[in-house]
């Protein structure tokens, strides 16, 4: 396992963001849903279809905003999870355990500091292998179980969410093409 060194606290801290390979198609889904909504309004679609589009677009918008602004910052002293409007920091000196759960290609790390302070990290972050190795190397050996050390040696990559997002983009493009080519015909 390659040794990943953390820089001293300051501007050299490492930053990990949600993979852009997921965020970009998610943004496209949101834009395409907006275009489909406008086209549907222009074609005089029933309120029920318009409401369905809005109801579908709202969670996509929330997921997009959360994913676009979520990041982890690691420095020599600890890790800070930043989300839109909030942040949580756990110093390495207080960490009692770094545990992992793996479900197929999905991995969750739980960084625990006491009974009620924890941080859950998924493999949705770009550079996840480096992130896992940096956390394992920054913590005392007693805080990292063997299962997590083995995971750090060969962390799985997850592509299913990216594939699904691109599939939705393709489906929405198809619906828009049908909508435009049918000159006023309905969505379905």
Q: Considering the domain boundaries, does residue 58 fall inside one?
A: yes
Q: What angle do CA 4, 76, 20 make, to 5 degrees?
A: 60
Quote the tokens at residue 139: 């913590």
Q: Considering the domain boundaries, does residue 174 fall inside one?
A: yes
Q: Considering the domain boundaries, does residue 170 fall inside one?
A: yes
Give bridge partners of residue 111 from the DSSP assignment: 98, 119
Q: Considering the domain boundaries, does residue 91 fall inside one?
A: no
List, for residues 32-79, the tens digit of each pLDDT value. Answer: 999 999 988 988 889 998 999 999 999 999 999 999 999 999 999 999
| Structural domain of 181 | 19-69+158-188
Q: According to the model, what pLDDT value does residue 3 have? A: 44
Mean pLDDT of 95-120: 89
Average pLDDT, the chain: 87
Q: Which of 92, 94, 110 is nearest to 148 (CA)?
A: 110
8 pLDDT tier (thresholds 50, 70, 90): very low
Higher pLDDT pick, 114 / 60: 60
Q: Considering the domain boundaries, does residue 94 fall inside one?
A: no
Q: Please give the backbone phi and psi of residue 65, each rounded to the nearest 5 degrees, phi first.
A: -65, -45
Q: Considering the domain boundaries, does residue 153 fall inside one?
A: no
How many domains does the chain divide into? 1
List, for residues 11-29, the tens digit of each pLDDT value. Answer: 468 999 999 999 999 999 9
Q: Considering the domain boundaries, does residue 34 fall inside one?
A: yes
Q: Which of 86, 58, 70 is nearest to 124 (CA)?
A: 70
Q: According to the model, what pLDDT value does residue 12 have? A: 66
Quote the tokens at residue 108: 């969750």
Burial class (CB in 10 A: 0-12, 13-18, 19+), 75: buried
Q: Considering the domain boundaries, does residue 185 fall inside one?
A: yes
């Amino acid at each position: 396992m390659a040794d990943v060194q953390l820089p001293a606290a300051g501007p050299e801290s490492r930053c990990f963001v949600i993979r852009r390979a997921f965020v970009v198609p998610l943004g496209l889904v949101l834009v395409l849903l907006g275009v489909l909504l406008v086209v549907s309004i222009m074609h005089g679609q029933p309120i029920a279809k318009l409401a369905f589009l809005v109801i579908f677009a709202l969670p996509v918008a929330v997921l997009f905003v959360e994913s676009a602004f979520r990041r982890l910052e690691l420095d020599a002293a600890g890790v800070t999870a930043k989300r839109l409007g909030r942040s949580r920091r756990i110093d390495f000196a207080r960490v009692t355990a770094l545990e992992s759960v793996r479900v197929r290609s999905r991995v969750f790390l739980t960084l625990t500091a006491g009974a009620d302070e924890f941080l859950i990290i998924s493999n949705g972050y770009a550079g996840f292998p480096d992130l896992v190795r940096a956390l394992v190397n920054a913590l005392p050996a007693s805080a990292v179980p063997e299962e997590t050390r083995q995971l750090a040696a060969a962390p799985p990559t997850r592509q299913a969410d990216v594939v699904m997002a691109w599939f939705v983009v393709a489906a929405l493009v198809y619906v828009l093409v049908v909508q435009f080519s049918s000159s006023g015909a309905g969505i379905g």
